Amino acid sequence: MIETTAAETSGVVLSSGPQADLFSQIAGNPSLSASLWLNIALAGLSILLFIYMGRNIDDPRAQLIFVATMMVPLVSISSYTGLVSGLTVSMISVPYPGGGSEEVLIMWGRYLTWTLSTPMILIALGLLAGSNLTKIFTAVVTDIGMCITGLAAAMTTSSVLLRWFWYVISCAFFVAVLYILLVEWPADAEIAGTDEIFSTLKLLTVTLWLGYPIFWALGSEGLALLTTTQTSWAYSILDIGAKYFFAYLLLRWVTDHEGVIGNLASGSLGSATPADD
């Protein structure tokens, strides 16, 4: 028998099954939905704005920064589309430290897509700082380690201890990323002559990125002091700053200072050479 649902008559064709149930659960919670749709809208606007801002960039290193930065809203719009559609979320029985467990909606797609978006942010920052390839590689692989083990933490249901052990492993990877951001790249950026913009972006990045593990611990994946909707809003707001605002500041600077980036490239990707070297 073919049933006609409200969604079908309104133009959204729904099938039945677990994914459709998750879709309905999200769509039926206006605040949760808004936390996701807001990011889809902002990612879309950012993509259009950034294409416009980058239209005249000629220098290859500046273009590379531009491409890496453009990927951030592109991954984000895909990520949030996965979440609203019910594709990358699941009901998971989360064990809590106090004992007992609860069936909660886990947005695991976030951790998966951070694996693609956060390396782009780091590549852009590393290129801006005039970093060498070794440091960029190290930042990227430790960051991917952080995201994948964060995904493992969110998805482990067998043991509360192992769930938090994954969390600790993820934090250890994060420490390596923070070290490069706070110690290695500021020194490179000073030599490269990009230290002013680098220190602004470093401060923004480090402050906002620290919010993610904090909200993971407080949210429905961790101690459940926050509801799923509150956790989702926390990540969505952090994302707005860490992705679109970050990318806007970076691209605005790159378009205004293409020459500085161009001089950096006169060495190679491997060296942080002074602008007039």
170 touches ligand RET by CB under 6 A? yes
Q: Which residues contact 156 (CB under 8 A, 6 or more apart)?
A: 162, 163, 166
186 touches ligand RET by CB under 6 A? no
132 touches ligand RET by CB under 6 A? no
Largest CA distance in the chain: 75
Which is nearer to ligand RET, 173 or 264 (by Cβ)? 173
> Segment contacting ligand RET (CB under 6 A): 100-108, 113-121, 126-134, 192-200?
113-121
Distances in Å between the alpha carbon of 88 and those of 81, 83, 158? 9, 5, 20
> Segment contacting ligand RET (CB under 6 A): 22-30, 111-119, 126-134, 157-165?
111-119
171 touches ligand RET by CB under 6 A? yes
114 touches ligand RET by CB under 6 A? yes
Which is nearer to ligand RET, 69 or 118 (by Cβ)? 118
50 touches ligand RET by CB under 6 A? no
Q: Integer distance in angstroms from the first to the last C-alpha of the chain?
A: 75
244 touches ligand RET by CB under 6 A? no
Which is nearer to ligand RET, 20 or 112 (by Cβ)? 112
The half-sphere exposure of 232 on its side-chain side, counting CA atoms within 13 A, is: 25
CB of 10 to ligand RET, least distance (A): 31
142 touches ligand RET by CB under 6 A? no
243 touches ligand RET by CB under 6 A? yes
Place of tokens 């002091």: 225
- For ligand RET, the binding residues (CB under 6 A) are 111, 114, 117-118, 146, 150, 153, 167, 170-171, 174, 209, 212-213, 216, 239, 242-243
